[in-house]
Amino acid sequence: MSENTAGPDASATSPETNLLLVTYDSCRYDVLQDARTPVLDSFAEVLPAQAPGNFTFPSHQAMFAGILPNAGSARPLYNRFCGQLLGLVGVGEMQVSGGAVLGVASAWNAVDGLGRAGYKTVGTGAMNWFRQESLTSCFQSFRFTGTAADEQIGFVLEETSGVAPFFAFINFGETHAPYDFAGKAEQCSVDTRARAISWPPQQASGAVGRDNEAYSHQVAAAEFLDTRLPRLFAGLPADTIVVVCADHGECFGEDGYWGHGINHPKVLEVPLAIFRLDGRAIAA
Ligand SMILES: [Zn+2]
């Protein structure tokens, strides 16, 4: 454990490890499986996991406390009950795993705890929820951008340049409805937002799920983001631990449900990948 001088609250177990958390907003697990993502696939296996919330705000609050999406398989780090990556010392389920790879103390959240442990904490969010200071004030530097992957990557690379250790966070909006991204020609004609639900939910008469037009638009957005990862990863230190996941999924008409913010299996199933950029194993 390296020495730190961040004060009495500083207790990170591995303060020399850089960490990057990336969320593809609303991206379903099956979408990311169907998308051609050779860059992400070259780094790690993507597993299905359960989101810690059904919309952006609670899911990110949970992740900022170390409660990442949880895989059903027993793989450490992918399943925090078998080995936790980031956690708050002495809080909640920290006792279950007996300690996290990055365990920090804070009365606020793990991002604040990392800052107290000497990390530079940098974040950027695409979705409107990242205008809420209760999500962003824990970061030393945060930029709300709207959907703008290239700007977000540039911001993180600039803010982390020459800095160690750091915790960096990016919430990408391209995979959120209406699935727009730079250079996209065709617009999605389907309104997938939860406000399109008629209550009680009625099974849609048209195509749902994989057969719905919106599905292919989210696939295209995920493929676009994969083309942006090389610039991001190449600009970060090789010992950076990376988490790529979604904050929640999306319904495309299954059982009459659309969008997210509701507890449907397609909203709660998200992709999860955890790896080091240099390919070395992470000691759980
Ligand atoms: Zn979201």
Is residue 251 a part of any domain in this protein?
Answer: yes
- Per-residue pLDDT at 6: 37
Angle (deg, nearest 10), helices 213-234 and 149-160: 20
For residue 129, the CA-to-ligand 1 centroid distance in Å is: 8
Name the DSSP class of 194: G
In angstroms, what is the span from residue 188 Cα to ligand 1's centroid? Answer: 18
- State in Å: Cα 280 to ligand 1 middle: 30
Q: How many domains does the chain have?
A: 1
Task: Identify the domain containing residue 150 by its residue range.
Answer: 19-182+191-202+241-276
Would you call 219 exposed, middle or buried from its count of C-beta atoms within 10 A (0-12, 13-18, 19+)? buried
Cα 163 to averaged position of ligand 1 atoms, centre (Å)? 29
59 alpha carbon – ligand 1 mean position (Å): 8
Q: What is the pLDDT along the chain (284 residues), one digit of tens a residue?
A: 333 333 333 344 555 689 999 999 999 999 999 999 999 999 999 999 999 999 999 999 999 999 999 999 999 999 998 989 999 888 876 555 567 889 998 999 999 999 999 999 999 999 999 999 999 999 999 999 999 999 999 999 999 999 999 999 999 999 999 999 999 999 999 999 888 888 999 887 789 999 999 999 999 999 999 999 999 999 999 999 999 999 999 999 999 999 999 999 999 999 999 999 999 999 76
Chain centroid, CA 234 distance in Å: 19
Structure tokens at 227: 């083309």
> What are 53's two structure tokens?
């919330």
Largest CA distance in the chain: 62
User: Is there a domain that residue 196 lies in?
Assistant: yes
Cα of 219 vs centre of ligand 1, distance in Å, is 16
- What separation in Å is there between the alpha carbon of 247 and the centre of ligand 1? 5
Query: What are 102's strand-pairing partners?
Result: 86
Using the mean position of ligand 1's atoms as its centre, give its distance from the Cα of residue 17 in Å: 27
Give residue 1 CA to ligand 1 midpoint distance, Å: 35
Give me ligand 1 centre to Cα 56, in Å.
3
Residue 62 lies in a domain: yes
Instruction: Tell whether 4 is covered by a domain.
Output: no
User: For residue 283, is it within any domain?
Assistant: no
Residue 60: CB atoms within 10 Å: 27
The answer as to whether 70 is a domain residue is yes
Residue 246 forms part of a structural domain:
yes
Ligand 1 midpoint to CA 54 (Å): 8
Strand runs (DSSP E) across the chain, as ranges? 19-24, 47-50, 70-71, 84-88, 100-104, 120-125, 141-144, 166-172, 241-245, 251-252, 258-259, 269-276
Separation of CA 74 and ligand 1 centre (Å): 26
Q: What is the CATH number of the domain that holds 67?
A: 3.40.720.10
Whether 222 is in a domain gets the answer no
Angstrom distance (rounded) from CA 173 to CA 156? 16
